[in-house]
Amino acid sequence: MHHDPTLAHNLLPTLLEACDGHLGDVSWFRADWQRGGASTGRSVWKVDGTADREVVVKFPVVPRELYWTRRLQSPDGEPPSSVPHLFASGSTLGNYDLAWIVIERLPHGPLGLRWHQDHIARVADAAARFYLETDSLPVLDAEAKYEDWETLLETARASLRDNRVPNRAEWIEAVKRVQRLHDSLVEAWRARDTTHWVHGDLHLANAMSRDSAQSGDVILIDLAEIRPGHWTEDAVYLERQLWGRPDRLKESAPVRTMAKARRKHGLSTEAEATKLADIRRVLMASTAPAFLRTEGHPRHLSGALQQLNLALKRVTAG
């Protein structure tokens, strides 16, 4: 599905009507982080007697993003602590089943544009606030993400066989080792507690701020992947982006920083979380060669192999 500016243009009158005259002119743009056929626009939200507020219009959004953007709003109407403030939303536009949202335009970020040593701590704190806000929400019929590690490992082996990858012999040996441990690793991973909600796409490009690029609370955007899971999934996913930058990884320690943020907000950090994080590292790092198109940068692969070997040593040590 490609970005369709014609659809956005044609549905604009319907959108303006749905917003009861509060939405100003919309300037559509293509965001670097967008996938699929979503249209994104900048505008202002007008309310008599108050200053215009800068907003972002997004449509279509997946039902999950619509649900969670609505669900995480503050009951008192104040801007929520971990996600953007929602001004208007709907599940249809005209005759189309297109969910849409009008949210505050966050002035600073994404944090991924420029590294700062506090980025990880701030994102971890935002994630912990998200966990706190969702902690009492029951996980009913939603399911945790299922990953076919056996097939991914086979794909990684084939990719290593067919491509010139640095340290190929070491990679092949490490992946074979993970394959031998597959059943016990996956059994332990799938036995984790998944009765809580995770962001599912926690990275620096989904982190914005109302205050500053270098300081202040982070606001998490892109809520389309929220699902049941264990917080170490978010933590290792955040860490993984730094595997190719060991200097940044060492100074920010994402998993440990996430655990600290959880404790600060009164949330548990189970004794088995350290081992779960290592199992997640092993599974994710060992399958990196299956995704050479997106994860094939030599620096990232080198970091992934280092993380794989270190985590394997810890996991098999007992």
Side by side, the strands of the sheet bearing 39-45 are 27-29, 39-45, 53-61, 99-104, 86-90
- How much is the pLDDT for 62? 94
118 vs 246: CA distance, rounded Å: 16
Instruction: Find out whether 83 and 223 touch, Cβ atoms under 8 Å.
Output: yes
Report the C-alpha gap between 211 and 107 in whole angstroms.
8
The reported pLDDT for the residue numbered 288 is 97
Question: Taking the domains of the chain in order of start, what are their residue ranges?
Answer: 5-104, 111-316
Q: In the predicted model, is pLDDT for residue 138 greater than 90?
A: no
Residue 31 confidence (pLDDT): 63
Give residue 138's Cα distance to chain centre. 21
User: DSSP states of 91-138 as a string?
Assistant: S-BTTB--EEEEEE--SB--GGGS--TTHHHHHHHHHHHHHHHHTTS-
Provide the CATH topology of domain 111-316. Answer: Aminoglycoside 3'-phosphotransferase; Chain: A, domain 2 (3.90.1200)
Q: How far apart are CA 15 and CA 35, in angstroms?
A: 22
pLDDT on residue 94 = 86
Helix (H) or strand (E) holding 301: helix 298-316
The residue-averaged pLDDT of 132-137 equals 92
Asked if omega into 110 is within 30° of 0 (cis), the reply is yes
- Mean of pLDDT values over 50-63: 94
What local confidence, expressed as pLDDT, does residue 32 receive?
A: 55
pLDDT of residue 4: 59
- What would the pLDDT profile of 72-90 be if each residue is shown by its tens digit? 999 998 999 999 999 999 9
The pLDDT score that the predictor gives to residue 310 is: 97
Task: Answer whether residue 2 shows pLDDT above 70.
Answer: no
Better-predicted residue by pLDDT, 9 or 168: 168
**Run of H or E including 263:** helix 254-264
Cα gap 200→287, rounded to integer Å: 18
Contacts for 293 with CB less than 8 Å, ≥ 6 apart? none
Question: Can you tell me the distance from the alpha carbon of 119 to that of 130, in angstroms, rounded to the nearest whole number?
Answer: 17
DSSP for 43-67 reads: EEE--TTS--EEEEEEEEE-HHHHH
User: Could you count the other beta carbons within 10 Å of the beta carbon of residue 14?
Assistant: 17
Q: What whole-number distance in Å separates Cα of residue 142 and Cα of residue 139?
A: 6
Fold of 5-104: Phosphorylase Kinase; domain 1 (3.30.200)
In the block, tokens 């005209």 appear at 94
The chain-wide mean pLDDT, for the chain, equals 93
- Could you tell me the CA-to-CA distances from 59 to 41, 50, 112, 169, 181 in Å, in that order? 9, 26, 23, 47, 44
pLDDT for residue 84: 97
Structure confidence at residue 10 (pLDDT): 87
The answer to whether 192 and 93 have CB atoms below 8 angstroms apart is no
- pLDDT-derived band at 302 (thresholds 50, 70, 90) equals very high
